Structure 1
Amino acid sequence: MLILVMLQMLGTMFVFYPQTMTFPATRLIAAATQAPRLLAAGSLRAVMDEIIRAYQEQGGLVFDAQYGPSGKLRQEIESGAKVDVFASASVGHTEALAQQKLLGPSTLFTHNDLCVLARPGLDLRADNLLAMLADPAVRIATSTPVSDPMGDYTWQFFRNADKQLPGFYAAMNAQAIKLSGAHIPAEGERLPYITAFEEDRADAYIMYCTNAVVTRKVLPQLKMVEIAEDLNVRSAYGIAAHAESEQGKRFVQFVLAVAGQAILKKHGFGPC
């Protein structure tokens, strides 16, 4: 009987000891094969997808990219989300994360400007822009301040314009319909700038000029009106890698180098 018990104990050791030893190795293999992660502003979707392809063609790894409002993505990182690179539409977000030691150094890597897209029937021009936008009958769509830098830049535009047309800020602050920037879009979700016009929810939409170009590829009938330089707000985009991510650091250097900057310029972004 004693011999039988000893054999059972010995068999248990042989069954469970090797299995226990395999768990750490499995986790290490999974970690080693996991793609590096990029979080980036929604306005960077097309350009970053192309930069990732170019980076891969030059021997870099493919990045798992997620796009959304920069303020929301920053909150995810502050809540513990793991990321190798964060590319924000506001350099303030990457600088804040660097100060918290959640990312490495922040670098300004490109610029963008605001434009207005309007439905064909709206007689919107550069010379009547403020008066038309201030018309209570015109439905003005915007992004959401705080959660999306595009919303922050838009409200700064309202403040700038108020100096030329007193009361403009108050009118826009009450009248603007926040149709984007409040949440991180689901995979495959259509751009809110497109659906706003397709579903007749807006007469004019204030957005980045690069977003306007993308939207007009789908809806070419829309009119694109530039905002005067003295009223416009030039956005400053920031990028930063995690301090312990070598792949992240390499990708940031690629974005800052000639090839990455050329792709940004091709998509309408300004030089860093």
Structure 2
Amino acid sequence: MPENIPGLKENSVNCYTAENAVEYYKQLSDFKGGRIVITVGLPHKCPMIPLEVTFAMHDFIKDRGLLDKTEFYYTYPIGRVHSLENVAKWAAPEFDAKGIKYETLFNMKEVDGKNACVRSEEGGEVKYDLLVAVPPHKGQEVIEKNGLGENGWIPTNRNSLHMEGEHGKNVIVLGDTTNLPISKAGSTAHFEAETAAENVAAVIKMGRPVKAYDGKVFCFIEAGKDRATYAMFNYQNPPQPKAPTGAVHAFKMAYNKLYWATARGLL
């Protein structure tokens, strides 16, 4: 929902639709130097996206021979560079090593396209030559319009995954549709689906569920064009990202192909 921030839609690029991604690539390819500002709205899908787009752009600009003419400036809404504390502790030194500047406690208020600057609710102002946005997201409009959940997310029991309230006894909620305070990511839906499938089968066979969802999430984190790490966590255990390697990046790329080949029935 870039339109939720005055001026953001008209003056920034992002990667959240095919059309937007193509425009993003065009503008980054035509970029000749200056300041690239990465600005982040909350909530947003996939917690690692702000870091990944920053690292990927750094390597893209480096390959084009423009690193000495480019300044990367990353902003984030809370008091560290990522919402997950251990991920932030890993990412900040990576930024420092690459010369990526950052400002925390920066909540977007508006974008002034005429003066090429983004202003924050805290009173800050950052000039840009290219503004790359992670826009704020919301849930589905149909959910909100029908009174099923505030901001388009359905109230969901964190362990059983049943819809909260009197009508939720036989309703299981998965993925981005839930209001659970965990990542809006593909792996979240995957692990929730495992719990849901076992419980549906168990209820049919013996009249009661047998498994509770523990909040499990797994996210690869691309640290550039050829290095990656990962974060695996649940309700009780925070992520512990390791130093990024080429091997993890290669595994991620292979996993991506295997996943879609399986989904298409080729494997």
TM range, smaller chain: under 0.3
TM-score with structure 1 setting the length = 0.25
- If asked which structure has higher relative contact order (CA below 8 Å, sep 6+), I would say 1
Structure number with the higher helix fraction is: 1
TM-score with structure 2 setting the length = 0.25
